[in-house]
């Protein structure tokens, strides 16, 4: 029996995202399996480096340091796993330009701390939740090896999303910043646009393929 999104994703995570990945993205992903894996590797590497850069900037927050250190290690393991899959399939790693997605979210980050940190953490939660949703979306269409791998990623990226969101709420509360829920809603809408509007380039986090 084919797994549904309800089987694969926690309801809370599905509610957090404002839209499902459009079918047109899924079609493009299945038509470009090599590109998908290369960009996936790229995303894992970037997820690790985002976590590391937070560790450099916010040295006075022990919970953040611990969570980000764990997260960076996990993302690097994912990176190694993707590289192994690519190698076994004869797919060569090459440099790809970044999609508009992460930058499209980060351009809205407020400048001053702790608002800056809160926004970056909320964005982290969206990136993790969307990755999780895309893995789940792909799983029913993949071969057994990749489906198994992506099922394990759904679990860990789901945890990462929870950690980012927990940290955002915690540091906002500590600073008596009451804007956090409104910021979550704000970024939900930015994220929805990036996912549901036409996009020239196909990537792991791209929008609807423009000229399908
Ligand atoms: Fe990952
Ligand atoms: Fe992650």
Domain residue spans in the chain? 22-202
Of 1.10.579.10, 1.50.10.20, 3.30.110.30, 1.20.1260.10, the CATH number of 22-202 is 1.20.1260.10
Residue that has been written with the tokens 């996912």 in this structure: 195
**What is the pLDDT at residue 124?**
98
Tokens of 167: 């940290």
Q: Which ligand is nearest to the CA of 43?
A: 1
Q: What percent of the chain has pLDDT over 90?
A: 95
Residue 143's Cβ-side half-sphere holds a number of Cα atoms within 13 Å equal to 5
The whole model's pTM is what? 0.97
Residue 46 has pLDDT above 70, yes or no: yes
150 Cβ neighbours under 8 A, 6+ residues apart? 135, 136, 138, 139, 142
Residue 212 has pLDDT above 60, yes or no: no
Q: Which helix (H) or strand (E) holds 108?
A: none
| Among the bound ligands, the one closest to the CA of 67 | 2
For residue 161, how far is its CA from the centre of ligand 2 (angstroms)?
7
The predicted pLDDT at position 22 comes to 97
How far away, in angstroms, is 178 Cα from ligand 1 center? 30
Q: Quote the ligand 1 centre to 98 CA distance (angstroms).
A: 17
Q: At what angle do helices 62-88 and 33-57 cross, to 10 degrees?
A: 160
Distance 13 CA to ligand 1 centre (A): 16
Contact 33, 202 (CB under 8 A): no
Query: Cα(80) to centroid of ligand 1, in Å?
Result: 10
For residue 209, the cross-strand partners are 199
Tokens of residue 1, six digits: 């029996």
Mean per-residue pLDDT, 95-108: 96
Q: How far, in Å, from the CA of 122 to the mean position of ligand 1?
A: 17
pLDDT at 1 over 70: no
List the one residue out of 99, 95, 98, 91 whose CA is nearest residue 37.
Answer: 91
Q: How far is the CA of 132 from the centre of ligand 2 (A)?
A: 8
Q: What Rg do the C-alpha atoms of the chain give, in angstroms?
A: 17
Average pLDDT of span 68-73: 98
């Amino acid at each position: 029996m084919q797994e549904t999104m309800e089987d694969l994703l926690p309801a809370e995570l599905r509610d957090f995202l404002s839209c499902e990945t459009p079918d047109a993205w899924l079609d493009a992903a299945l038509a470009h399996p090599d590109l998908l894996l290369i960009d996936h590797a790229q995303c894992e590497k970037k997820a690790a480096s985002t976590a590391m850069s937070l560790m450099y900037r916010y040295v006075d927050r022990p919970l953040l340091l611990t969570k980000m250190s764990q997260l960076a290690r996990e993302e690097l393991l994912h990176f190694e796993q993707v590289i192994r899959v690519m190698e076994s399939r004869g797919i060569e790693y090459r440099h790809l330009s970044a999609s508009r997605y992460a930058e499209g979210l980060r351009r809205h980050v407020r400048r001053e701390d702790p608002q800056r940190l809160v926004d970056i953490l909320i964005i982290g939660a969206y990136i993790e939740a969307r990755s999780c949703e895309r893995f789940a979306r792909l799983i029913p269409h993949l071969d057994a090896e990749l489906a198994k791998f992506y099922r394990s990623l759904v679990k860990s990226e789901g945890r990462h999303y929870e950690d980012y969101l927990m940290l955002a709420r915690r540091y906002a509360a500590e600073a008596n910043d009451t804007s956090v829920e409104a910021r979550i809603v704000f970024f939900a809408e930015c994220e929805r646009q990036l996912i549901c509007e036409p996009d020239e380039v196909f990537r792991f986090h791209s929008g609807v393929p423009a000229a399908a």
